[in-house]
Structure 1
Amino acid sequence: MIDVAKARTMTPGVENVVHLNNAGAALPSTPVLDAMLMHLRREAAIGGYEAAAQVAAQLDAVHGSAARLLNCAPDEIALVDSATRAWDLAFYSVPWRAGDRILTSTVEYASNFIAYLQVAERFGVTVDVVPDDSVGQISVDALRSMADERVKLISLTHIPTNGGLVNPAAEVGKVAAELGALYLLDACQSVGQMPIDVTSIGCDLLSTTGRKYLRAPRGTGLLYVRRAVLDRLDPPFLDLHGARWVAPDRFEPQPGARRFETWEYGVAARLGLGAAIDDALAWGLDDIRDRVYTLAEELRARLTDLPGCQVHDRGIEQCGLVTFTLDGVSADAVKAALRSRSINVNISRAPSTLLDMTGRSLPELVRASVHYYNTEEELERLCEALTET
């Protein structure tokens, strides 16, 4: 069980705001701040290279922490600067050929779908969207019926940016295994919010960010690459860290997922990522999920009771992202009114998840996303503010 009072003591930002934008960027904890600030001071005092050398063991340990987080081996982890970079590195490493198929879902994020369209134009790849089931999640039955030997990749967003839906990632993994297709999971919103076990899910590739539910700094992310699929992938670019130049006409990639990394990175940010992952592991991902889900369920119930408020989340399993609209009030007006009361929320607009939003005739949604350090009193403050908007 989460000690909420302790969590808030370790979260300086709660003194300033009711932060319900954790699916955007969560408030960092004191250990994360300390790790980053200490290193920045070290760099200022002795120099960047020299400071990095002093914390080499701590930096290397981040791979081990990330591996424990996802239940994989450290050499299956690449540390990068964002979830976008992680996802792109995975996707563009697939050796595409004319006639290949990509199977994906209706809630795919715009950045992902733009990449699908680009390789479709460039290589003659076909992009097929699997329909939703009756509750709004990807239909596993439809996925299985659409699969054939031309499917090169099944690419799934675990939790979309525009709602509390949790797609059945492990069930999709079973279909991918039956088919022998690569399986890429965009876990940008799920890692840090709930336990994620890549072995149980069955994904070959997973991308995520640090800044959301992991509570790490911006400019951090990670990529999981299952060791068994490395030889099926060709990283879109390499440098002297991802590969070794062994002869004038020959190079050798790193043996593991670190071939997807680059030599240069923000050392302080990476130390902050490590501290954030260690924090999440210490709190316990099961307990974090239980706290987040309970708060989100309460918020949905409170919002449903408000006159003119409609909650738009779908799926059997619903997580900490809560989306809603107020009759006659734009999402921008809602966000501004809440911000004037030091309550942070965000807006999801149709272009971010075009297929899903246009399919449901939703041009925009207000998104309130809770974390374990939020309180029931903060949810009450949100709802009171909405009644006066």
Structure 2
Amino acid sequence: MTSILTDHDVAALRAATPGTRSAIHFNHAGSSLPSNGTLDAIRAHLLREAERGPMEAGVAARAETETARALAARLFNAQPDEIALTGGNSPGWGAAFAAFATASPWQPGDRILVGRHEWGGNLACMRLIAERAGARVETIPSDQDGCVDPEALRAMLDERVRLIALTWLPANGGLINPAAAIGAVAREHGIAYFVDAAQAVGQLPIDVEQVGCDVLAGAGRKALRGPRGTGLLYVRRDFLPRLTPAWVDTHSAPLGPDGAPMLRPDAARLESAEASLALRCGLANALREALDIGLDAIRARVDAIAQGLRTELAALPGVTVLDQGRERSGLVSFNVAGLDAPAVQRALAAQGVTIGSNGVSYTPLDMTARGLAQIARASVSYLTTQDEIGRLLDALRQLPRQG
């Protein structure tokens, strides 16, 4: 694929994506549309399971599992032994956090510093485990653009800070946090650094060395266009000894000759023996396709489409665009005067246009700080066309206004 996605390139990609023929899809941040190639890879393995038996077919899928691991390593500028294949973003992030706590239990007075945009599920993990031990979860201030502020973080540091956690691209807006700048502070002070990259994987070029993270979690179903129920987890090789899984099985810690469990020496110690190999085959294809297109080309097209959509939405009467940040993603958040976000979502769905909507629980710290009860979100892909944007805008113009 060229370094710039042309209209011809996009037409070919859409022709290979059956969902584009039946949906006006603006919920790529929730789950994107898989390609025929990804669907074929899943179907092919399911057929092998049906014909040979699932265990026997699993032998044939081992190569694709390792292909997925190697391709994910390329995507992140990492090594294959630093990649775990997971059941999704939350299972991966949660497994890493639990392993961090198991290896070195939280103590009274320990501190975790999080960005204001932290995903609600991550906050639940941290508070459930850490606060039970008397540790605290504290919020790093944001700057005037809404981004997590590296200098404010630096001012909060002391010997009690054990973890810095950042959601790179929030679920409730297009802001992109300065992950590498936060990582530089973490590295300077030798503090563990976890990055939730659920919305970034497949949308932004990612170099884990540049980000400076110890752990980075991502989802297969979002911008990467992989199957739901898949995820990627990067664990820096030197950080792995600081992670003891909260539970293990014959895959992550097989018993040795003396009957003692032997933890795997790679990131796969955070995997499970129970996994859908059909979905992993689909994930491998999605990774291959993203790398073939090129992340720089994907980022450039998504950014151009999203910026244009923000401009057009802001020109509609009664529509307020809510995105903050200096750099922005393909997620465009907005509200419509007189209508709550779920009502907007339902009304657009009735017109054949799919968007998302979020409540406070997704990003509670940021939503509360900004006085937002809910947001509508129209998230784009490199598959998105101007005709689809026109359909979205027309559907919004037809919404009944209240008050």
The answer (yes or no) to whether the contact 1:42–1:51 under 8 Å persists in 2 is: yes
What residue is the counterpart of 1:319 in the other structure? 329
* 8 Å contact from structure 1 (residues 148, 179) kept in 2: no
Q: What does 1:160-179 align with in structure 2 at a 5 Å threshold?
A: 160-179=170-189
Match of 1:367, SS state, is strand
Cα distance between partner residues in 1 of 2:377 and 2:303 = 15
User: Which residue of structure 2 aligns with residue 251 of structure 1?
Assistant: 261
Which of 234, 242, 245 is 1:232 aligned to?
A: 242
2:209 paired residue number: 199
Give the alignment of 1:1-389 within 5 angstroms.
1-2=4-5, 3-94=9-100, 95-98=104-107, 99-248=109-258, 250-389=260-399
Q: CA deviation at 1:234?
A: 1.4
Distance (Å, rounded) in 2 between the aligned partners of 1:120 and 1:252: 27
Conserved in 1, the CA contact under 8 Å of 2:61 and 2:277?
no
Q: Is the 8 A contact 1:242 1:258 kept in 2?
A: yes
Verify the 8 A CA contact 1:109 1:352 in the aligned structure 2.
yes
CA distance in 1, matches of 2:74, 2:301: 21
- In the TM superposition, what whole-angstrom CA distance separates every residue of 1:257-295 from its partner, at most 9, and x where no partner exists? 011111121010000011001110000000000010110
Q: Give the superposition deviation at 1:55.
A: 3.0
Aligned mates of 2:63, 2:283 — CA distance in 1 = 15
Structure 1: gaps (5+ residues): none
CA distance in 2, matches of 1:180, 1:150: 12
For the 8 Å contact 1:96–1:125, the answer to whether it is kept is: no
Q: Once the two structures are superposed, what CA deviation does each residue of 1:60-110 show, in whole Å capped at 9, x if it has no partner?
A: 211101100111000000001111110001111112331221110111111
Q: Which amino acid aligns with 2:43?
A: L
Q: Which residue identity is paired with 1:11?
A: T
Give the aligned residue type for 2:20.
V
| Cα displacement (A) at 1:249 | 5.1
Instruction: Tell me if the contact between 2:111 and 2:162 (Cα under 8 Å) persists in the aligned partners.
Output: yes
**Which of structure 1's runs of 4+ aligned residues deviate more than 3 A?**
none
Inter-partner Cα distance in structure 2 for 1:40 and 1:120: 41
CA distance in 2 between counterparts of 1:297 and 1:51 reads: 46
SS at match of 2:198: coil
Counterpart of 1:192, as a letter, is G
One-letter amino acid of the structure 1 residue matched with residue 133 of structure 2: F
CA distance in structure 2 between the partners assigned to 1:130 and 1:45 by the alignment: 54
Residue identity matched to 1:97: W
- Partners of 2:297 and 2:367 lie apart in 1 by 32
Contact 2:186 2:193 in 1 (8 A): yes
Q: Report deviation, 1:374.
A: 0.7
Following superposition, the deviation at residue 120 of structure 1 comes to 2.8
Distance (Å, rounded) in 2 between the aligned partners of 1:175 and 1:108:
18
The root-mean-square deviation of aligned C-alpha atoms, in Å, is 1.0
SS in 2 for 1:41: helix
Structure 2: how far apart are the matches of 1:335 and 1:97?
Answer: 41
Paired amino acid for 2:173:
G
**Distance in 2, Cα, partners of 1:330 & 1:233:** 43
Q: Is the 8 A contact 1:29 1:215 kept in 2?
A: yes
Give the aligned residue type for 1:12. P
Q: CA deviation at 1:180?
A: 0.2
C-alpha separation between the residues in 2 aligned to 1:10 and 1:282? 14
Aligned residues of 2:174 and 2:330 also touching (Cα < 8 A): yes
Q: Which amino acid aligns with 2:70?
A: G
- Separation in structure 1 between the aligned mates of residue 149 and residue 288 of structure 2, nearest angstrom: 35
Give 1:149 deviation, angstroms.
Answer: 1.8
